[in-house]
Amino acid sequence: MEIPTRYDSSIESKWYDYWIEKDYFHSVPDEREPYTIVIPPPNVTGKLHMGHMLNNTIQDILIRKARLEGKNACWVPGTDHASIATEAKVVKMLREKGIKKSEITREEFLKYAWEWKEEYGGIILQQLRKLGASCDWERTSFTMDEVRSEHVTKAFVDLYNKGKIYKGLRIINWDPDAKTVLSNEEVIYNDEPGHLYHVRYRIEGSDDYLTIATTRPETILGDTAVAVNPKDERYKHLEGKKVIVPMVNRVVPIIFDRYVDIEFGTGSLKITPAHDPNDYEIGLRHNLEVIDIFNEDGTLSEAAHFYVGKDRFEVRKLITKDLEEGGHLVKIEEYNHSVGRSERTNSVVEPRLSEQWYVHTEELAEPALKSVMEDVIEFFPKNQKNTYRHWLENIRPWTISRQLWWGHRIPAWYLDVDGETKTFVAENENKALELAIKETGNSGLKLSDLKQDEDALDTWFSSWLWPISVFNGFFDKKEIDYYYPTTVLVTGWDIIFLWVARMIMAGYEWKNEKPFEHVYFTGMVRDKKRRKMSKSLGNSPDALKLIEDYGADGVRFGMLSSSPAGGDLLFDDKLVEQGRNFSNKLWNAMRLIKGWEIDDKIETPVENRLAINWMKNRLNQVIEELDGLYEKYKLSEALMTLYKFIWNDFFSWHLEVIKPAYGQPIDRFTLNETIELFETTLTLLHPFMPFVTEEIWHYIKEREDGDDCVVSKYPKAESYDQALLDVVEKVKTIVTKIREVRNSKGLKPKDKLKLYAKKSDSLLDLLDSEKISGIKEKILKQAFLSGLELVDSEEIENTIPFMAANEKFMLESNIEIDIEAEIAKIEKEIVYQEGFVASINKKLSNQGFVNNAPEAVVNMERKKLADGEERIKILKESLKTLKK
């Protein structure tokens, strides 16, 4: 049978289908320990991008590892309805069809939206399968499906009844394009160039003026006061006075408030309570009138009196001109200031006074803060705790209503009773009607008398319930009791407030328990120039194309190999290529092994026994290292550890020793043991590279049905012989040195040469160790030597002298050696070694060091010193010989 020399990753889909057919990813509660992950639900209409690939690769590694360890691994997939984003897409789609949202009913709009969702929704889940994500697809959830919606409604009603949800008039962030409120977390602030306008207001009953500075002159029309700092000596005399607002000629008070920054601008501040959150607060303190001069689309309203119907930015220009003509404008300065824009529409957010629904977050925040600060929930990396604490300690009410249709409609019904609006919050309209009848005593009320709130809920109001709702947690005790709290949440730090903190709050509110044990924060995927990957920059590679070109294993390797927890991933095709090459290396190692025939007449060579013994010990050492790395979620390092172990130790050292001459058979013991080692190695690597490991798993051995890598047994670390590992390391340095000598002297790497070694106790000990045999044979084979002879002499004709592992060697060669160069080299080495010895001597002659440092450290230094002195001695002898 011919096996191609290149690994072909197109076999991946075959294995994915096979795993699904075997139902390996489905989980039901049983007596085993659960290992649970809920996916951060991607937008239902989203497409797989680099961030998803990183995030889901990490989750898949963890879940596959848990599965191999025999835990009941459950990874719940799903999607998010993403209200603003999806509604925007639907609106755009309708506009292209010539339909305006304002011209159709809510019901019609929702029908279009659901059609759209059915058509494009869930593509991303198909794409995750290509990546190898081993989700339990039977559990696929959607934040707006029936079960999840029931949770949303129940949570809302419950909070309302507990008094933790309320409706209030506040200054909110208004998006004039989307015509909806935004939460603070949906506003992106950036410094933008602008102007600082100095405008003078005449003081009533005098010819004096008070000059204020503002970046938004158009809001002058809504001014209801001017404020100065009570400590500001310049304005003390104005107490009790009033000023006249330009244009509108409104007489407003001069107020004194500590909020005003004496240093900034002119030290006096105009107050527009309707259009600035700070002004609003000041307004409340001083009982100021609130005049809203804007319409919901950002144009000026009747209340402004001037420029009615014109856009706010146009008005800014117009009023500047008019103020100047009226003699009110003092000067204009260039000024950079922070401008908030909508995360979705990029329009400049307008602070606006509006009635919205809020969650009272202070009480919810308390247990959420405590559990993270006390490491009841552990963050990886830890430093995200600070960010988290800062936000929760300064938490503000959460605006949960949105002026959108796509989402969970707020379960509040209104009834006008004698000109007063009463609110009834309930799971459904019938229950609301019951409440209304009970409260009003009017049994004649009908459903049509009630009017439901038009607004939908913030998307995050459904996602914060996700770890509960995916297990039907409000209604099914068995599932939630088994899977909750989940084991680990893997997500980006950019949604630590939007999502992570709120899930923790919800967990304590409804389950009185954390939602997850650990949170692993991934970094952002950036390009090589550290730019965030984005569609507009065009620097984001096509995820599916990458999988097609390099295989999912290659992509997973690339994503992981340079992605410490929390740190940014600088994506580079090169990394993915390295992953693909690794798959190919594994493939070819398999080809090599499969090509060997067993001959039972062959005795196992002694160096093979040593090699196998060494590999087994190394393997245990690696397993132990991996356990430690997994525990700390250092997955990139775990992958690198495996990569180096497999490529260097297993393939480059082990296979090269045991490899029979071309066309020759191998002994049974060596081959079987090597296959066994390979098999264990595949299990270790499987979480990272599931496809290639499964493929090779089935090549290296005949398998019975169900004997698959994906469900193989993860090995437990056993003890290992450190002394043996040290000895082999020493052998490797000797072999490497011989290769280097050949290399630098232009000798062929595979010509059989004889090696002489100066007899020493340590060398005798190494080569004739009673415990470890096969050392000499291993050196002979790996360094292509015809023999190794121990001699007393320092000098042998036709040899090249060199040092390795503190021993002196001479390699047979009749080439002329450049004695001058050789002397220079050795002298340079002596200088280095003497410096080394001197530095240790200095340490050891320091009484403070000898007295204070631990004994082991001092002994180590003494050993270093002795070794260094020994090297100098040998070098000096060599020098003497050369100079003769």
Q: Which of residues 719-738 bind RNA (CB under 7 A)?
A: 735-736
Task: Decide: is 840 part of the binding site for RNA (CB under 7 A).
Answer: yes
Nearest-approach distance from CB 494 to RNA, in angstroms: 7
Which part of the chain contacts RNA (CB under 7 A), choosing from 95-103, 143-151, 182-190, 280-288? 182-190
Among 161, 652, 722, 859, binds RNA (CB under 7 A): 652
Q: Does 841 bind RNA (CB under 7 A)?
A: no
What is the closest distance, in whole angstroms, from the C-beta atom of residue 266 to RNA in the complex? 18
713 binds RNA (CB under 7 A): no
In the complex with RNA, the residue whose CB is nearer, 377 or 657, is: 657
Give 322 or 637: the residue with its C-beta nearer to RNA: 637
Work out which of 184, 206, 346, 793 binds RNA, going by CB under 7 A: 184
Nearer to RNA, 764 or 857 (CB): 857
The stretch among 185-193, 251-259, 404-412, 757-765 that binds RNA (CB under 7 A) is 185-193
DSSP-assigned beta bridge partners for residue 801? 810
Among 414, 651, 669, 784, binds RNA (CB under 7 A): 651
Q: What are phi and psi of 248, to 5 degrees?
A: -85, -10
- Window 660 to 689, contacts with RNA (CB under 7 A): 662
In 3D space, the residue among 649, 548, 540, 651 whose CA is nearest the CA of residue 592 turns out to be: 651
Q: Report the residue number, 166 or 836, with the smaller CB distance to RNA.
A: 836
Min dist. Cβ of residue 605 to RNA (A): 17
Q: What is the 3-state secondary structure (H, E, C) of 545-581?
A: HHHHHHHHHHHHHHHHCCCCCCCCEECCHHHHHHHHH
31 CB burial (10 A radius; 0-12, 13-18, 19+): exposed
- Cβ partners under 8 Å of residue 350, min gap 6: 173, 174, 175, 176, 275, 294, 298, 312
Q: Is 173 in contact with 186 (CB distance < 8 Å)?
A: yes
**Closest-CA residue to 554 (of 528, 527, 574, 577):** 577
Minimal CA–CA distance to 809: which of 843, 852, 854, 760?
760
Contact window for RNA (CB under 7 A) among 286-294, 301-309, 790-798, 848-856: 848-856
Per CB under 7 A, contacts with RNA among 494-513 are 494, 497
Q: Does residue 656 interact with RNA by CB under 7 A? A: yes
Binding to RNA, residues 118-147 (CB under 7 A): none
**Which residues have C-beta within 8 Å of that of residue 112, sequence separation ≥ 6?**
90, 93, 94, 99, 104
- Choice between 167 and 843, CB closer to RNA: 843
d(CA 260, CA 252): 17
H, E, C per residue of 657-721? HHCCCCCCCECHHHHHHHHHHHHHHHHHHCCCCHHHHHHHHHHHCCCCCCCCHHHCCCCCCCCCC
Cβ proximity of 391 and 373 under 8 Å: no
Binds RNA (CB under 7 A): choice among 211, 387, 403, 841: 387
Helices of type H across 132-276: 146-161
367-386 residues near RNA, rule: CB under 7 A: 383, 386
830 binds RNA (CB under 7 A): no
At closest approach, how far in Å is the CB of 201 from RNA?
26
* Closest to RNA by CB, 516 or 596: 596
Enclosing H/E stretch for 390: helix 384-393
**Given the complex with RNA, which of 29 and 564 has the nearer CB atom?**
564
Beta bridge partners of 196: 333
6 is a site residue for RNA (CB under 7 A):
yes
Q: With binding defined as CB under 7 A, does residue 832 bind RNA?
A: yes
* C-alpha 335: how far from chain center: 37
Question: DSSP character for 336?
Answer: E
Residue from 583, 620, 621, 878 in contact with RNA (CB under 7 A): 583
Tell me which residues in 189-218 interact with RNA (CB under 7 A): 189, 191
Nearer to RNA, 231 or 321 (CB): 231
Residue 76 within binding range of RNA, rule CB under 7 A: no
Distance (Å, rounded) from C-alpha 860 to C-alpha 844?
11
| Binding flag, residue 595, RNA (CB under 7 A) | yes
- Of the candidates 457, 538, 600, 451, the residue with the CA atom closest to the CA atom of residue 49: 538
Q: Decide if residue 857 touches RNA (CB under 7 A).
A: yes
d(CA 812, CA 830): 24
Site for RNA in 792-811 (CB under 7 A): 806
Nearer to RNA, 148 or 170 (CB): 170
- Applying CB under 7 A, among 740, 751, 765, 818 the residue interacting with RNA is 740
Pairing mode, if any, of strands 268-271 and 225-228?
Answer: antiparallel
Contact segment (CB under 7 A) with RNA among 69-77, 80-88, 586-594, 819-827 equals 586-594
Q: What are the DSSP calls for 439-496, one per residue?
A: HH--TT--GGG-EE---EE-THHHHTTHHHHTTTTTT-HHHHHHHPSEEEEEEEGGGI
Binder to RNA among 62, 589, 639, 657 (CB under 7 A)?
589
Phi, psi (rounded to 5 degrees) for 450: -90, 145
Alpha carbons 133 and 58: distance in angstroms, whole number:
10
Structural element, H or E, at residue 869:
helix 855-883
Is the separation of the CB atoms in 417 and 202 below 8 Å?
A: no
Binding to RNA by CB under 7 A, coded x per residue (else -) over 617-646, reads -------------------xx--x--xx--
Among 256, 647, 669, 784, binds RNA (CB under 7 A): 647
| Per CB under 7 A, 655 contacts RNA | yes
End-to-end CA distance of the chain: 62
Place of tokens 């008039």: 169
Q: How far is the CB of 471 from RNA (least distance, A)?
A: 30
CB 562 to RNA: min, Å: 4
Instruction: Return the number of the residue (442 or 648) whose C-beta is nearest RNA.
Output: 648
Phi, psi (rounded to 5 degrees) for 677: -65, -40
Indicate the DSSP class of residue 383.
T
Tell me the closest approach of the beta carbon of residue 768 to RNA, in angstroms.
Answer: 21
Nearer to RNA by Cβ, of 443 and 845: the residue is 845
Which residue in the set 428, 648, 664, 762 belongs to the binding site for RNA (CB under 7 A)?
A: 648
Site map 419..458 versus RNA, x via CB under 7 A: ----------------------------------------
Residue 326 Cβ, how far from RNA at the closest point, in Å? 33
The reply on whether position 13 binds RNA by CB under 7 A is no
Question: What share of residues in the chain are helix, strand, coil (percent, to 5)?
Answer: 50, 20, 30
Residue placing its CB nearer to RNA in the complex, 330 or 872: 872
864 lies in the site for RNA, by CB under 7 A: yes
Q: Could you say which residues in the range 751-790 bind RNA, by CB under 7 A?
A: none
Cβ burial of 37 (10 Å; 0-12, 13-18, 19+) is buried
Residue 54, CA distances (Å) to 60, 383, 521, 559 in order: 10, 21, 11, 6
Question: Does 699 help bind RNA (rule: CB under 7 A)?
Answer: no
Show contacts with RNA in window 513-572 (CB under 7 A).
Answer: 528, 530, 561-562, 564, 567-568, 570
Report the nearest approach of RNA to the CB of residue 277 (Å). Answer: 7
Q: Is 584 in the site for RNA (CB under 7 A)?
A: yes
CB of 610 to RNA, least distance (A): 18
Return left, alpha or beta for 706; rule: phi > 0 is left, psi -120 to 50 is alpha, else beta: left
- State in angstroms the smallest separation of the CB of 857 from RNA: 4
Q: Is 745 one of the binding residues for RNA (CB under 7 A)?
A: no
CB of 390 vs RNA, minimal distance in Å: 6
Q: Kindly tell me the number of DSSP H helices and DSSP E strands found in the chain.
A: 28, 29
